[in-house]
Structure 1
Amino acid sequence: MNTQRKADLLQKRRWRIRKKVQGTAARPRLCVRFTTKHIYAQAINDDAGTTLAFLSSLDKELRAKKLAANLNGAKELGVAFAAKAKAAGIESVVFDRAGAPYHGKVKVFADAAREGGLVF
């Protein structure tokens, strides 16, 4: 399968998910994205179109730990994101996996965020 077709299918999966998953001020959307090297997570209020909390493996505190986009990195970033979201006043979120299948890194990130205190 060529790369353009693969990207098109991923975008269609994202749109299909986003039709059902909507973030509000009371319960923002937790969007997690894994690239080959890094992990990005953000809590988004879709009503206002604003990002309430953002954390990535490129953050200063986490960069020293040299987090990779693997299971260990997903677990550490999930716990760190939950702490940052709690500090921002976010208790409950709607999980958006950004088209990725819910297993492996995505599942580990979600479980770690739950352990950190976020309610899905």
Structure 2
Amino acid sequence: MRIREKREKLYRRRMRVRAKVKGTSKAPRLSVYRSLKHIYTQIINDEKGVTLISASDREADGDIKIRKKSKGKKQIIATRHRYARSLEDLQTESNQSSRGLTLAFAVGKLVAEKALKKRIKRVVFDRGGRVYHGQIKAVAEGARAGGLKF
């Protein structure tokens, strides 16, 4: 499959999801965008066309630090990351993919924290045409753990 075809299919899926999921003032839309390097979330009121809250893994990266050991293995060093599931999870996860899941979960908790400060408790989830799996699922679980209701 060509890159152009993949992008077109993703666009079609995104538009199909957006046709079904609308954000209102009572339940705004939690939109997730995943690029190759980062993950971004926004809480959007579609009635007014306004972004209420945004968060990304750049903000949530907080206390996670990666350093190389002498044998070339990467190890995550953490001082109790405030959005992580637990300290043990951070210390045991050593490859990039699980680090991405941890950061996605942290982004979900961060956006939930910001939403609760603005008194937003209920949202509708827009996965952006992606499959509800991996980082997209981790963002949703983090938002639920942070106190948002879908």
Q: Normalising by the residue count of structure 1, what TM-score does the alignment of the two structures yield?
A: 0.91
Aligned to 2:51: 51
Q: What SS class does the counterpart of residue 79 from structure 1 fall into?
A: helix
Q: Which runs of 5+ in 2 are unaligned?
A: 66-95
Aligned to 1:119: 149
* Cα distance in 2, alignment partners of residues 76 and 64 from structure 1: 9
* Cα distance in 1, alignment partners of residues 19 and 36 from structure 2: 26
Q: 1:88 aligns with which of 111, 118, 138?
A: 118
Which structure would you say has the larger Rg? 2
Q: Which runs of 5+ in 1 are unaligned?
A: none
Aligned to 2:81: none
- Count of matched residue pairs: 118
Is the Cα–Cα contact under 8 Å of residues 57 and 106 in structure 2 kept in the other structure? no
* Cα distance in 2, alignment partners of residues 21 and 58 from structure 1: 27
Pairwise CA distance, 1:112? 1.1
Alignment RMSD: 1.7
1:18-43: CA deviation from partner (whole Å, max 9, x where unpaired): 11000001100000111111110000
* Cα distance in 2, alignment partners of residues 63 and 74 from structure 1: 10
Q: What SS class does the counterpart of residue 58 from structure 2 fall into?
A: coil
* Cα distance in 1, alignment partners of residues 36 and 110 from structure 2: 20
